């Protein structure tokens, strides 16, 4: 236990909900870093001392003041759907659970303001009632919170159209509470939101988020299968590049990945390579011609009026692909990559043929700097950490950007380096270095 006098801390919190039951605290100290066989032993036994669930911003401020006064580490969590140990406390302390901050403050044409604990699905449902929807969401959108998505995510379903969270305009405003003995509430807007965006909760406690919305479309879900993987990938690139066709998801799987999608087996013939698509119904009429051009076959189609019923293709894509695969074979792990635009599918073909089934290719097309490129969440047959690092080095030598999901250090993962502006902001909002300590090489905790 890192908190010397837990009873004193609990008494100070008064009416704020706290959890001290060891099993519950341990559960709420975890996320899906178990996808990584490298992270599991490194994060084993890392738990907080207490979970605190503030119900509003005033309670967040009170928790922050008490933790700063007693110099107690604070790890903020939403639903815990991250994959890199972002919300695993390395130095114990308080787990600040934001899931009770559930108010949708307002939704206006093209923009919404919500508290950090609002679930993405709830926000999307509310926005659609007014003809709008979230621009992008992870495959965990049914359970993930908006604060967790901003702090630990980067993009997802919708990124083929709108790019990534870090792109200018995809995040309008953030409200954060500082971890000081007299906490302040700071509103960040415009480019200043990047001081907190994807900072893993080291730069203030997010209490409110303001995001842009996109126009809501009636979305159809489609599976197209191909006899050849590279042809499937070329089809995916062509569809993603077709600016006249409105789409939300273009996902390509190399066989044998589809074998892990048991409910979808009737629609994916053995040894074929499927494309999972979410396309606006007004664009559907243009799809069969493109499918025919690449020799594919439409095997499944769900119209928009059946949305929410039966199978949901989005929940087999992005990191849910890894989840489904690991439900069948726990020896599997994954990588996260972006293929450079100048190398594109030629490099995808190189990697596909070089590794074979050891690294099974899963492509998610996204927009980066105005161009659509294939991002990859490859499934890897794990043998040793040494071999995994060899696979990573091979990709990087070919020019592939690897956002390494097998580290809990920000610089070693997707960031590579911490933005100097984030470091400056860290000094302002967390003068005692108590927020999620240990997740950076340059930020030390004593």
CATH number reported for the structural domain that contains residue 85 in this entry: 3.30.43.10
Q: At 414, which CATH number?
A: 3.30.465.10
Flag whether 441 is in a domain. Answer: no
- DSSP assignment of 370-413 equals TEEEEEE--EEE---HHHHHHHHHHHHHTT-EE--TT-S-GGGT
Beta partners for 360?
A: 379
Flag whether 445 is in a domain. Answer: no
Measured at the CA of 234, the angle between CA 231 and CA 240, to 5 degrees, comes to: 145
Measured at the CA of 81, the angle between CA 52 and CA 157, to 5 degrees, comes to: 135
> Is 149 in the same domain as 93?
no
**Rounded to an integer, what distance in angstroms lies between the CA atom of residue 159 and that of residue 249?**
8
pLDDT for 339:
94
Q: pLDDT tens-digit profile of 142-165?
A: 999 999 999 999 999 999 999 999
- Separation of first and last alpha carbons in the chain: 15
> Is 191 in the same domain as 240?
no
**Rounded to an integer, what distance in angstroms lies between the CA atom of residue 221 and that of residue 43?**
38
**Rounded to an integer, what distance in angstroms lies between the CA atom of residue 201 and that of residue 422?**
11
Q: Which residues contact 168 (CB under 8 A, 6 or more apart)?
A: 191
Flag whether 13 is in a domain. Answer: yes
Q: Tokens 């005033």 belong to which residue?
A: 58
Beta strand 219-226 with 247-253 is: unpaired
Contact 440, 430 (CB under 8 A): no
pLDDT for 308:
80
Flag whether 324 is in a domain. Answer: yes
What's the structural domain count of the chain? 3
> Is 50 in the same domain as 169?
no
> Is 396 in the same domain as 315?
yes
pLDDT for 2:
66
Flag whether 437 is in a domain. Answer: no
Reported as type and span, the H/E element at residue 12 is helix 6-13
Q: Which residues contact 261 (CB under 8 A, 6 or more apart)?
A: 268, 316, 324
**What are the backbone dihedrals phi and psi of residue 172, each rounded to the nearest 5 degrees, phi first?**
-90, -45
Beta strand 219-226 with 173-177 is: unpaired
Range of the domain at 167: 104-215+410-429
**Rounded to an integer, what distance in angstroms lies between the CA atom of residue 368 and that of residue 338?**
9
> Is 137 in the same domain as 123?
yes
> Is 154 in the same domain as 284?
no
- Residue from 294, 280, 265, 130 nearest 220 by CA: 280
**Rounded to an integer, what distance in angstroms lies between the CA atom of residue 163 and that of residue 136?**
8
Q: At 284, which CATH number?
A: 3.40.462.40
Parts of the chain with a pLDDT under 50? none
Chain Cα centroid distance, residue 220: 23
pLDDT for 446:
63
- Residue from 190, 183, 130, 124 nearest 157 by CA: 124
Burial 199-232 (b: 16+ CB within 10 A, else e): bbbbbbbbbbbbbebbebbebbbbbbbbeebbeb
> Is 124 in the same domain as 255?
no
**Rounded to an integer, what distance in angstroms lies between the CA atom of residue 42 and that of residue 57?**
33
**Rounded to an integer, what distance in angstroms lies between the CA atom of residue 446 and that of residue 430?**
14
**Rounded to an integer, what distance in angstroms lies between the CA atom of residue 166 and that of residue 170?**
7
> Is 211 in the same domain as 114?
yes
> Is 192 in the same domain as 135?
yes
pLDDT for 21:
97
Query: How would you list the strands of the sheet with 247-253, edge to edge?
Result: 297-302, 219-226, 273-280, 247-253, 362-368, 371-376, 337-338, 401-402
**Rounded to an integer, what distance in angstroms lies between the CA atom of residue 160 and that of residue 251?**
10
Q: pLDDT tens-digit profile of 389-419?
A: 999 999 999 999 999 999 999 888 765 667 8
């Amino acid at each position: 236990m890192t908190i010397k006098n837990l009873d004193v801390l609990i008494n100070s919190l008064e009416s704020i909900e706290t959890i001290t039951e060891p099993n519950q605290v341990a559960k709420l100290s975890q996320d899906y870093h178990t996808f990584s066989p490298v992270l599991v032993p490194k994060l084993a036994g890392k738990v907080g001392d207490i979970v605190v669930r503030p119900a509003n911003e005033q309670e967040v401020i009170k928790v922050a003041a008490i933790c700063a006064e007693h110099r107690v580490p604070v790890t903020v969590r939403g639903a815990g759907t991250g994959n890199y140990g972002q919300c695993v406390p390395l130095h114990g302390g308080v787990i600040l659970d934001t899931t009770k901050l559930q108010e949708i403050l307002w939704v206006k044409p093209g923009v919404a303001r919500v508290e950090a604990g609002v679930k993405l699905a709830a926000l999307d449902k509310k926005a659609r009632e007014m003809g709008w929807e979230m621009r992008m969401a992870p495959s965990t959108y049914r359970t993930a919170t908006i604060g967790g998505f901003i702090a630990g995510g980067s993009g997802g379903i919708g990124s083929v159209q709108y790019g990534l969270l870090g792109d200018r305009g995809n995040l309008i405003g953030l409200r954060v509470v500082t971890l000081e003995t007299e906490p302040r509430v700071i509103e960040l807007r415009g480019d200043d939101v990047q001081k907190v965006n994807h900072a893993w909760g080291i730069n203030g406690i997010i209490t409110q988020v303001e995001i842009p919305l996109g126009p809501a479309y009636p979305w159809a879900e489609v599976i197209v299968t191909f006899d050849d993987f590279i042809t499937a990938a070329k089809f995916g690139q062509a569809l993603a590049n077709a600016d006249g066709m409105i789409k939300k998801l273009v996902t390509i799987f190399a066989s044998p990945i589809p074998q892990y999608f048991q409910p979808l087996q009737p629609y994916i013939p053995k040894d074929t390579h499927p494309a999972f698509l979410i396309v606006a119904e007004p664009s559907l009429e243009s799809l069969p011609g493109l499918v025919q051009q690449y020799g594919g076959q439409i095997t499944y189609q769900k119209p928009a009026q059946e949305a929410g019923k039966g199978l949901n293709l989005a929940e087999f894509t992005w990191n849910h692909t890894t989840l489904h695969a690991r439900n069948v074979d726990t020896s599997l792990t994954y990588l996260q990559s972006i293929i450079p635009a100048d190398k594109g599918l030629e490099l995808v073909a190189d990697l596909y043929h070089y590794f074979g089934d050891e690294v099974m290719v899963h492509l998610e097309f996204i927009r980066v700097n105005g161009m659509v490129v294939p991002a990859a969440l490859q499934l890897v047959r794990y043998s040793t950490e040494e071999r995994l690092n060899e696979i990573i080095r091979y990709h990087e030598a070919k020019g592939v950007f690897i956002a390494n999901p097998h580290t809990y250090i920000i610089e070693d993962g997707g960031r590579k380096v911490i933005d100097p502006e984030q470091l400056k902001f860290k000094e302002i909002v967390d003068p005692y270095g108590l927020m999620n300590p240990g997740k950076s090489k340059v930020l030390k905790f004593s």
